[in-house]
Structure 1
Amino acid sequence: RFQKCEYAKLKLFKTEGRGWGVLADESIKAGQFIIEYCGEVISWKEAKRRSQAYENQGLKDAFIISLNGHESIDATKKGSLARFINHSCQPNCETRKLTVLGEIRVGIFSKQDIPAGAELAYDYNFEWYGGAKVRCLCGAAGCSEFLGAKSRGFQGVRKGGGVKSCET
């Protein structure tokens, strides 16, 4: 399903106080591939530069995730519906890195059965290296209250991590 871009049926919606979100428009089984996280592949240095530029522009919703130790995916200006999947401290989805024809790609997979109409969410696994703390709005029981609070603390620029790897 990944190589053929056979995505689950999804629906974009406006959340209460958390911007855009993504709903399952069909039932999704545990472990199922949902959608690829697409965007522009850029260097880690460029990701840091863009992140700062987006912040200076007042852009609150930047969609940059870490691909590996030296590259990131920036889906801020172009990308798939996956960029609108919100964070949760108790997610029903997870990210996985896959190598497809020698190229690293990122997919969103379900961690559990997800009924039609449920909002999709994954743990962003942010690491912060300075700047303002970002309050977590997931509302889950046991919420960490801030994005990145469970990582190495608030020490600098943001980076999405925690992407599992596998081969196809």
Structure 2
Amino acid sequence: MDRDGLSVEWINGHKGRGVFATKAIYKGEFITEYRGDLLSKRDAEMRCQKNISDVAYMYYFKHQGKNMCIDASKEDGSIGRLVNDNISSVANCRMRIIVKDSHPHLCLYATKNILQGDELEYDYGGYTPWRKKQGMKVCSIQVSLTNTMHA
């Protein structure tokens, strides 16, 4: 579930849409979940190869020694998939794995106080070709998550 106080806005042709705070969010607070289909890495790579659109929202991560992926490519109204990348020194959010009923959930939390009007951003880590070039097809976000919490 997405928290109250968030809006999606168009930024530009390179960045696309982004998520902005419509009210203050405090350090440590839950922001949103990165929702989609939970897949094995192999199934995700096969799905990515079949993807004919320009962009996919595939978030690879490791959980309990297994390489997994959440595919949020389907436009479903959730906003976690629209939070943009920024280097960790500037980012105001961080992704964590939350385990509920034995299933991993990727959840964003505020790493600092976020003011009304601020764009929400986190460091995607590893695979970030758009930091160097514009206009590339990006099929995945590959990150190593170490913060696991159980709900």
Q: TM-score, normalised by structure 2?
A: 0.81
The match for 1:39 among 36, 42, 64 is 36
In structure 1, the residue corresponding to 2:124 is in which secondary structure? Answer: coil
Q: Does the CA contact (< 8 Å) of 2:30 and 2:109 recur in 1?
A: yes
Deviations 1:47-75 (A, max 9, x none): 11222233xx2x33211112433321000
Distance in 1 separating the partners of 2:2 and 2:106:
14
Question: What percent identity do the matched residue pairs reach?
Answer: 25
* Residue number among 56, 60, 64 corresponding to 1:66 in the alignment: 60
Q: Give me the whole-angstrom Cα distance separating, in 1, the residues matched to 2:91 and 2:144.
A: 13
Partners of 2:11 and 2:17 within 8 A in 1: yes
Structure 2 residue runs of 5 or longer lacking an equivalent are 134-138
Distance 1:51 1:121, change over 3 A: same
**Is contact 2:86–2:121 with CA below 8 Å preserved after alignment?**
yes
8 A contact 1:30–1:112 mirrored in 2: yes
Whether 1:30 and 2:27 are equivalent positions in the alignment is yes
After TM superposition, list the pairs within 5 Å mapping 1:1-168 onto structure 2.
Answer: 5=1, 7-16=3-12, 17-54=14-51, 57=52, 59-68=53-62, 69-79=66-76, 80-89=78-87, 90-127=90-127, 134-136=129-131, 145=132, 158-163=140-145, 164-168=147-151
Q: Higher relative contact order at CA 8 Å, sep ≥6: structure 1 or structure 2?
A: 2
Compute the TM-score of the two structures, normalised by the length of structure 1: 0.73
Alpha-carbon separation, structure 2, partners of 1:91 and 1:135: 16
User: 2:113 is aligned with what amino acid?
Assistant: D
- In structure 2, C-alpha distance between the alignment counterparts of 1:67 and 1:8, rounded to whole Å: 27
Shift of 1:6: 6.1
Aligned residues: 138
